[in-house]
């Protein structure tokens, strides 16, 4: 699907109900499989959660999780620690390029039986589930927090729990904290002191009902829209001020681009008025919130604001090399942009070329991050269906805000 986006009006007003966080959903699905008595409300309707749900029900044969990083990492740990499971866990062509040896090495050190069926260090994996009795392991923490969350999530089910030592600078830390918070919510004892995380085994748990908060990474596109439009009021739900999601830092970040946030119970009002000042340069370290880097870079470009984004080293191993993809597509639109392995620098100002076709590289966030530019110029998004990885209803929601979304 290829779409042309245009915005005929001058103001954006509307109300959107955003699907559940895919990060919280995929963690809770794993905990439900391990601990049984768990009812999950507001589960994400994303492809990534769909494949996680289908995958976790399997005990043998091929399990294909397509593009879902969390499902790949979480299910690796799950199958490896379930005696009797014998599966080949695979994914999309891109998933076969996303490294997994840090997690596999840690699981093997604990006694797991995992082999690579194609290239060493990358999916697919042949996993034979075993009972794990060892409980101490060390792993590198600077490549992906998902390896750590995967181990933490299965830890209460291990004979002796887990003591995990994290080596190096911890990346995407809020996602580790989210994992620990959800473990605590289902009754697991956890401790995170200095660089050591300890998880106690859980033998018995009570029935719990947990409600997934809506996805903050998805909220970023509405923050971006509000920042680009000089008169905007967009209400998004269901959110809470004490979020487990690190991307809730959007509330602070977008204040500098003129967007105010106010809670009305579980609804969040994003407001922008023309008189609100915007900074001329955004300097941000996004090591704790990598998924909103694309949104912020495009917001800055659309607003003529410069930016210097650091802490982006994980972007190269996500759905695509997001730094190269941003550079290529923003350059097509007329931006002056430089990237390194972990930084992005965008020069302030400049015109935006109309009717440019944006390539999305199988990356949902490329499609959604560029969409707000339609408030400035008509824009074409190639392979627009990619949004279903995290936000299947995105184009319908955009249309409900007054965007013309025309299928070409």
On whether the CB atoms of residues 270 and 260 are closer than 8 A, the answer is yes
C-beta closer to ligand PEP: residue 215 or 256: 215
| Long-range CB contact pairs, 322-331, < 8 A, 24+ | 322/293, 322/294, 322/363, 322/365, 322/366, 325/359, 325/361, 325/363, 325/366, 326/293, 326/294, 326/297, 326/298, 326/366, 328/359, 329/358, 329/359, 329/366, 329/370, 330/297, 330/298, 330/301
CB of 47 to ligand PEP, least distance (A): 10
Residue 145, binding choice from ligand PEP, ligand S3P, none, Cβ under 5 to 8 Å by partner class: ligand S3P
Residue 385, marked binder: no
What is the closest distance, in whole angstroms, from the C-beta atom of residue 314 to ligand PEP in the complex? 8
What residues make contact with ligand S3P under the rule CB under 6 A? 23, 70, 144-146, 149, 171-172, 175, 290-291, 314
Residues that bind ligand PEP (CB under 6 A): 67-70, 291, 318-319, 365, 390
Longest dimension (CA), the chain: 63
User: Is 172 annotated to bind ligand?
Assistant: yes
Coil/strand/helix, residue 15: strand
Write phi, then psi, for 260 (nearest 5 degrees): -95, 150
C-alpha distances in Å from residue 370, one per residue of 17, 347, 380: 21, 17, 9
Q: Report what 172 binds from ligand PEP, ligand S3P, none; CB cut-off 5-8 Å by kind.
A: ligand S3P
Is 69 annotated to bind ligand? Answer: yes
Residue 290 Cβ, how far from ligand S3P at the closest point, in Å? 5
Q: Which does 66 bind (CB under 5 to 8 A by kind): ligand S3P, ligand PEP, none?
A: none
Annotated binding residue 283: no
To the question of whether residue 322 is assigned a binding role by annotation, the answer is: yes
388 is annotated as contributing to ligand binding: no
Binding partner at 365 among ligand PEP, ligand S3P, none, C-beta below 5 to 8 Å by kind: ligand PEP
For ligand PEP, give the closer residue by CB, 156 or 290.
Answer: 290
CA angle 204–206–210, rounded 5-degree value: 125
The residues facing 282 across adjacent strands are: 307
Structure tokens at 48: 């990534």
Secondary structure (3-state) at 42: coil
Runs of H (alpha helix) within 288-379:
293-303, 322-332, 364-370
- Residue 357 CB, shortest distance to ligand PEP, in Å, is 22
Of the residues 291, 321, 363, 397, only one is catalytic, namely 291
The annotation status of 145 as a binding-site residue, yes or no, is yes
CB 8 within 8 A of CB 30: no
Instruction: State the minimum distance, in angstroms, from the CB of residue 390 to ligand PEP.
Output: 5
Instruction: State which residue, 33 or 68, has the beta carbon closest to ligand PEP.
Output: 68
Instruction: Residue 175: name its binding partner from ligand PEP, ligand S3P, none (Cβ under 5 to 8 Å by kind).
Output: ligand S3P
Supply angle C-alpha 204, 208, 214, rounded to 5: 135
If the CB atoms of residues 7 and 216 are measured against ligand PEP, the closer one turns out to be: 216
User: Which residue, 65 or 228, is less far from ligand S3P as judged by CB?
Assistant: 65
Active site (annotated) includes residue 397: no
Instruction: Compute φ and ψ for 230, nearest 5 degrees.
Output: -75, -15
- Numbered residues of the known binding site for 3-phosphoshikimate: 22-23, 27, 144-146, 172, 291, 318
Catalytic residues, which ones? 291
- Numbered residues of the known binding site for phosphoenolpyruvate: 22, 69, 98, 146, 322, 365, 389
């Amino acid at each position: 699907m290829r779409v042309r986006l245009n915005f005929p009006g001058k103001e954006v007003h509307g109300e959107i109900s955003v699907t559940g966080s895919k990060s919280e959903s995929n963690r809770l699905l794993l905990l439900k499989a391990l601990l049984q008595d768990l009812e999950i409300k507001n589960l994400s309707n994303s492809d990534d959660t769909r494949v996680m749900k289908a995958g976790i029900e399997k005990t043998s044969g091929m399990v294909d999780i397509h593009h879902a990083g969390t499902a790949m990492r979480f299910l690796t740990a799950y199958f490896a620690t379930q005696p009797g499971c014998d599966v080949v866990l695979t994914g999309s062509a891109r998933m076969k390029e996303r490294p997994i040896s840090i997690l596999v090495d840690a699981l093997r050190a604990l006694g797991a039986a995992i082999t690579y069926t194609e290239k060493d260090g990358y999916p697919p994996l042949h996993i034979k589930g075993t009972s794990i009795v060892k409980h101490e392991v060390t792993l590198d923490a600077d490549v992906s927090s998902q390896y750590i969350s995967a181990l933490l999530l299965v830890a209460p089910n291990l004979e002796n729990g887990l003591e995990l030592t994290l080596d190096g600078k911890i990346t995407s830390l809020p996602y580790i904290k989210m994992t620990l918070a959800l473990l605590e919510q289902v009754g697991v004892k956890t401790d995170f002191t200095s660089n050591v995380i300890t998880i106690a085994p859980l033998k018995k748990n009570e029935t719990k009902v947990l409600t997934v908060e809506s996805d903050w990474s998805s909220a970023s596109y509405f923050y971006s829209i509000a920042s680009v439009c000089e008169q905007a009021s967009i209400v998004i739900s269901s959110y809470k001020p004490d979020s487990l999601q690190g991307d809730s830092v959007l509330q602070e970040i977008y204040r500098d681009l003129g967007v105010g946030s106010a809670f009305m119970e579980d609804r969040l009002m994003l407001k922008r008025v023309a008189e609100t000042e915007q900074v001329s340069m955004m300097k941000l370290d996004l090591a704790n919130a990598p998924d909103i880097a694309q949104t912020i870079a495009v917001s800055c470009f659309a607003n003529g604001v410069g930016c210097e984004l650091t802490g982006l080293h994980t972007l190269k191993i996500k759905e695509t090399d997001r730094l190269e993809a941003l550079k290529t597509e923003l350059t097509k639109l007329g931006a002056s942009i430089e990237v390194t392995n972990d930084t992005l620098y965008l020069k302030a100002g400049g015109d935006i070329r109309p009717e440019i076709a944006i390539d999305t590289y199988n990356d949902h966030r490329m499609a959604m991050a560029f969409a707000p530019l339609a408030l400035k110029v008509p824009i074409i998004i190639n392979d627009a269906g990619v949004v279903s990885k995290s936000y299947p209803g995105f184009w319908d929601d955009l249309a409900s805000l007054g965007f013309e979304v025309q299928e070409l």
